[in-house]
Structure 1
Amino acid sequence: MITQIRPSQLAAWLDSMRAHGEPLVLDVREPSELRVASVTADGFTLRTIPMGVIPPRLNELNPAQPVACLCHHGARSMQVASFLKAQGFEHVANIAGGIHAWSAELDANIPVY
């Protein structure tokens, strides 16, 4: 089962994961989406790897590091989170609602698209 967290719950999840290493927010959106709207790393490491290239770039991620996956609305990030869990990643969460919810819950300056 993949943990589902809303953007408003992210800070608490990050704090609860710090015992396992520096948390990572993995943004799996496409470069064109990142140009429209992006988050700023604040209390976490931010990494952007599009969903379609996660498998060949899996070695760039640490299976022991806590990872919260982010996309536009939460569907692609849920697929990536499930893939990471199946690959042996121990602490994985999906940011439900994606960057759209992030804009509504955490930072209204992030454009909605």
Structure 2
Amino acid sequence: MNRYSYLVPPIGRDQCLLQDIQPEELHAKMQDPSFIEEAQLIDVREPDEVERAFLPGFKVLPLRQFGTWGPVMTDEFNPQKDTYVLCHHGMRSMQVAKWLQSQGFQKIYNVAGGIHAYSVKADSSIPTY
């Protein structure tokens, strides 16, 4: 134990889980209709990007409009439910995932590589751009 150990809280059951989910794993989950109904799916890309390629069930909350939707996230989404965040390559979604973590969301999954990786690795019917 070093002199800074007290700064790191012990990991407990109610600690937040923030991790990447691989496109293939998300694709497998999305084959189950109950997954789309039960999980919270958030796409933080811009509307013109979503027009080019989208995944069913994802609510579009463009990162550029964060000032509008950020303050009401805990009103519209349940911090206790599994939350999946998607963007083009996985960078914007990771920003939002970390922010959700700071807001008390418990289980957050960032789609690794974004919708581009999803198209390349899991479902080639989704266009790349």
TM-score range, shorter chain: 0.7 to 0.9
State the AA in 2 paired with 1:31: P
Match of 2:63 in 1: 51
Deviates more, 1:46-55 or 1:67-76: 46-55
Query: 1:24 & 1:62 partners in 2: Cα distance?
Result: 8
**Alignment partner of 1:22 out of 38, 58, 64:** 38
Query: 1:100 & 1:64 partners in 2: Cα distance?
Result: 28
Superposition RMSD in Å: 2.3
Task: Kindly tell me the number of residue pairs found equivalent between the two proteins.
Answer: 105
CA deviation profile, 1:8-64 (whole Å, cap 9, x unmatched): 12235xx8xx7xx911221110101011111123xxxx2111123241341322211
- Given that 2:40 and 2:77 are in contact with CA atoms closer than 8 Å, whether structure 1 keeps it comes out as no
Query: 2:63 & 2:105 partners in 1: Cα distance?
Result: 16
State the AA in 1 paired with 2:38: E
What TM-score do you get using the length of structure 2 for normalisation?
0.72
Q: Give the SS at the match of 1:102.
A: helix
State the AA in 1 paired with 2:125: N
State the AA in 1 paired with 2:59: R
State the AA in 2 paired with 1:56: P
Query: 2:60 & 2:72 partners in 1: Cα distance?
Result: 11
Match of 1:37 in 2: 53
Q: Which runs of 4+ in 1 moved over 6 A?
A: none
Q: Give the SS at the match of 1:85.
A: helix
Q: How does 1:67-106 map to 2 (within 5 A)?
A: 67-106=83-122
Identity of aligned pairs, percent? Answer: 44
Report the CA distance between 1:2 and its aligned residue: 2.3
